[in-house]
A and B are shown apart, each in its own frame.
Chain A
Amino acid sequence: MGNLYSGAEIVFKCLEDQKVKHIFGYPGGAVLPLYDELKNHPSIKHILVRHEQGAGHAAEGYARSTGKPGVVLVTSGPGATNVVTALTDAYMDSVPLVCISGQVPTHLIGTDAFQECDTTGITRPCTKHNWLVKDINDLPRIMHEAFEVATTGRPGPVLVDIPKDIQFAKAKYFKAKKAKKEKKKSSTRFNQKDIDQLVDLMKKASKPVFYTGGGVINSGPRASELLRELVSLTGFPITSTLQGLGAYPGDDNQFLGMLGMHGTYEANNAMHDCDLLINIGARFDDRITGKIDEFSPKSKKVHIDIDPSSINKIVKVDLSIVGDVSDVIISTTKTLKKKNLNLGKSNKQKISKWWQQIQKWRTKQSLSFINSDTVIKPQHAVQRLYELTKNQDTYITTEVGQHQMWAAQHYKFNKPNRWMTSGGLGTMGYGLPAAVGVQVAHPEKLVVDIAGEASILMNIQEMSTAVQYNLPVKIFILNNQYMGMVRQWQELLHEKNYSESYSKALPDFVKLAEAYGCVGIRADNPDELDDKIQEMINTEGPVIFDCHVDQNENCYPMIPSGKPHNQMLLGLKDQTENKISGKGKALV
């Protein structure tokens, strides 16, 4: 262990110790020593993106589809500022990222040197923690700590800023020590008393509902299996947030669909009318709760979360259980079994009334739409995509907007880690680089980015990355020539003043695909849709699929801002009866 290693060597030795297989990055002056070192570490493959934001989102896609941290390598100044959006996105959606950025040499810090910026200052509010390495001897410890912070507790992004002279300087290397901060965190962890209380509430409930979120996904694939067992054991209905989709099978009868602003009628009404709400790994986001003081007014609320600061942040709960979702579910199921409380059977009568009510809500068929023979309806396009891909293990990413909601509503996920979407930050341009990251991690799987024509243009340059590494991502664009969600809000709330939401000069996406060296497919009418989708799936390389859809379609159902869950806007026929009040307008 007496050997001295350069800073660059230490970084890579640490990446090897952390079993990192891929890094996403873009070189520049302040990271050249690191890039020089790359050749000596064949087990680590570098994916060259076309923009640092793309590197960040690709690493997010990689992390979310594998459960392992994504690693990003960028240069100082613009390299670091370009990755800020992706770091913020990862912070909001709790995605583990380790971002390594170059910095100008220590003696130049603070002098406004070329490509200098206060990287740790800029990224402080959008990372779990960050470090500026000023002493080479701190580097091994900081690198290991970075991985630990990113992956433990509620996961999130971290950044290590390494000045160029530190990359050259030499020091000893040591391996990661065993986690030392465990003690601090375990003090707030749940105990059996909490579980007993939960089981007691479950026993008494006659209108229970599970409301699950991304925490179940982050807890690992085992958590999803445990959740399925718990749901079947209790017989309770379950709804999921956008980020939680896939933790529970989307086509199961106990699943009510997604809840929230564009959630199903049955899910939102169940949330509103329930007498026991069990939140597992979700955070009462404002797109979920609607009007907060009319949110689920009659229920006892239980919140299971690994992050103590999520508890009582938005909604005051009756019982909080701080801990990893898997651990909590294991204890709950064990206790249920021990007390022989097969709620699915013993409470059947109590809950059966609740299920009858839910069936009534289901008959509204809130996701239905009026299909057409002449023009492709976007919902229909997603449904066809689902039908034609459901027999293989498909990974879906999305951009942000109407297409994202239609994908969430109409694509049914059966496994966790198959659905990558920007929820908290709502980053347009997320889907394509995320798909690149997913495909890097799963080269043999089908990866589809369900996109909008506006979002895709925000990071379209990453097609070049996909082509370079022969990553056969399929970009499925629902092209309505509008920023659809903006247009929808303008139609409903701003007297159809479609201010700047129409893209007058869109590229020819088929030619664009060809220019990038991949395949372009266009679909204009419903008759050809299935064949063209099949053609896309059968194509070996990356594809841009330009699906021309109805320009005027809106995403329903919808809870207008300022309204509670039980006042949803359904499809077209329902609109006239349920107008948005003037007060709700200020609120998107």
Chain B
Amino acid sequence: MVKSKSAYSIPTKLGKLEKHIIVVWVDNEVSVLSRVVGLFSGRGYNIESLAVAEVDQKKNLSRITIVTTGTPQVIEQIVLQLKKLVPVHKVGNFKREDKNVIFKEMALLKIVANTTKIKKALNACKKLNPVILDQTNKSAVVQITALKREIDNVTKNLKPLGLVSASRTGAVAMTRGAEIFN
């Protein structure tokens, strides 16, 4: 393909891609998720992971956490476009490197193996806040919470130790300290 210089093309000076975590507080109503997700797909933005659940039953508020990559210009657009959606209350935008923000993902891992392997497997999860939710002499279900990279690694290492099923959430985020985001 010839690189086009169209009036339609993106600027030739492409900015550096950055990873951001976008947090969106929305009214928990029908189709609100498809509005948010549709905005991303319709405008060609990228979603790496998505976590959503109601956080305030009284006010009927849900909190959506989206991990995305884009140029600074695209990230700015994502935030501004999200703010235009009617059910959106506020939008938080954090750089992945931001030291003031805690990011966590959770995973449930099922290991089916003999007891020695299960032991080894559980040992491998040691640093990832493991909680054993279910255990038989042939299997174990363990819950871990960690960063995406750490979970990626451990699932790779657990494959030979009998990992048969992994269920993962997207990242969720919270700022450190006493301040809350407004």
Q: Which residues of A contact B (CB under 8 A)?
A: 120-121, 124-125, 128-129, 132, 134, 149, 184, 286-287, 289-293, 307-309, 311-313, 316, 561-562, 582-584, 586-587
Contacts and interface: CB of A to CB of B under 8 A. Distances in A.
A184 B83 CA distance: 10
A287 B84 CA distance: 25
Contacts of A132: 30-31
B115 to A, nearest CB: 49
Contact of A308 (B13, B73, B83, B85): B83
Contact of B11 (A184, A292, A311): A292
A308 B83 CA distance: 9
A298 B114 CA distance: 72
29 contacts: A121-B34, A124-B31, A124-B35, A124-B38, A125-B38, A129-B86, A132-B30, A132-B31, A134-B30, A149-B86, A286-B7, A290-B7, A291-B5, A292-B9, A292-B11, A308-B83, A309-B77, A309-B80, A309-B83, A309-B84, A312-B73, A313-B77, A582-B2, A584-B5, A584-B6, A586-B6, A587-B4, A587-B7, A587-B8
A586 B73 contact: no
A530 B128 CA distance: 85
Interface in B66-95: 73, 76-77, 80-81, 83-86, 89
Nearest to A134: B30
Given A308-B80, A308-B83, A293 B11 contact: yes
Contacts of A561: 6-8
Contacts of B177: none
Contact of A562 (B6, B31, B83, B84): B6
Q: Please list the 5 inter-chain residue pairs (A to B) with the smallest Cβ-Cβ separation, ordered nearest first.
A: A587-B6, A309-B80, A286-B7, A129-B86, A562-B5
Interface string B38-76: 100010000000000000000000000000000001001
A292 B4 CA distance: 12
Given A561-B6, A562-B7, A586-B6, A124 B34 contact: yes
B93 to A, nearest CB: 14
Contacts of B5: 291, 562, 583-584, 587
A134 to B, nearest CB: 8
A266 B51 CA distance: 53
Nearest to A583: B5
Nearest to B88: A184
A584 B77 CA distance: 28
B167 interface: no
A125 B42 contact: yes
A104 B165 CA distance: 43
B42 A293 contact: no
Interface string B1-34: 0101111110111000000000000000011001
Classify the secondary structure of A's interface with B: helix
Interface of B: 2, 4-9, 11-13, 30-31, 34-35, 38, 42, 73, 76-77, 80-81, 83-86, 89
A156 to B, nearest CB: 10
A184 B84 CA distance: 10
Nearest to A124: B38
B76 A120 contact: no
A186 to B, nearest CB: 13
A184 B86 CA distance: 11
Contacts of A129: 85-86
Contacts of B13: 293
Contacts of B2: 582-583, 586
Contacts of B6: 561-562, 584, 586-587
Contacts of A286: 7-8
Q: B4, B7, B73, B89: which has the most chain A beta carbons within 10 Å? A: B7
A309 B8 contact: no
B46 to A, nearest CB: 17
Contacts of A312: 73, 76-77
A129 B5 CA distance: 34
A293 B7 contact: no
Contact of B86 (A128, A290, A292, A587): A128
Contacts of B12: 293
B83 to A, nearest CB: 7
Contacts of B81: 309
A291 B7 CA distance: 5
A374 B84 CA distance: 55
B97 to A, nearest CB: 22
A308 B30 CA distance: 26
Given A309-B84, A313-B77, A287 B7 contact: yes
Given A309-B81, A587-B7, 16 more contacts: A124-B34, A124-B35, A125-B38, A125-B42, A129-B85, A132-B30, A290-B7, A293-B11, A309-B83, A312-B73, A313-B77, A316-B73, A561-B7, A562-B7, A584-B6, A587-B5
B80 A562 contact: no
Nearest to A125: B42
Nearest to B74: A313
A147 to B, nearest CB: 13
A128 B4 CA distance: 32
B31 A120 contact: yes
B7 A292 contact: yes
B127 to A, nearest CB: 43
A586 B7 contact: no
Contacts of B85: 129
A309 B85 CA distance: 11
Nearest to A311: B80
Nearest to A287: B7
Q: A292, A312, A584: which has the most chain B beta carbons within 10 Å? A: A292
A291 B38 CA distance: 29
A586 B4 CA distance: 7
Contacts of A587: 4-9
A132 B6 CA distance: 40
B43 to A, nearest CB: 9
A311 B5 CA distance: 23
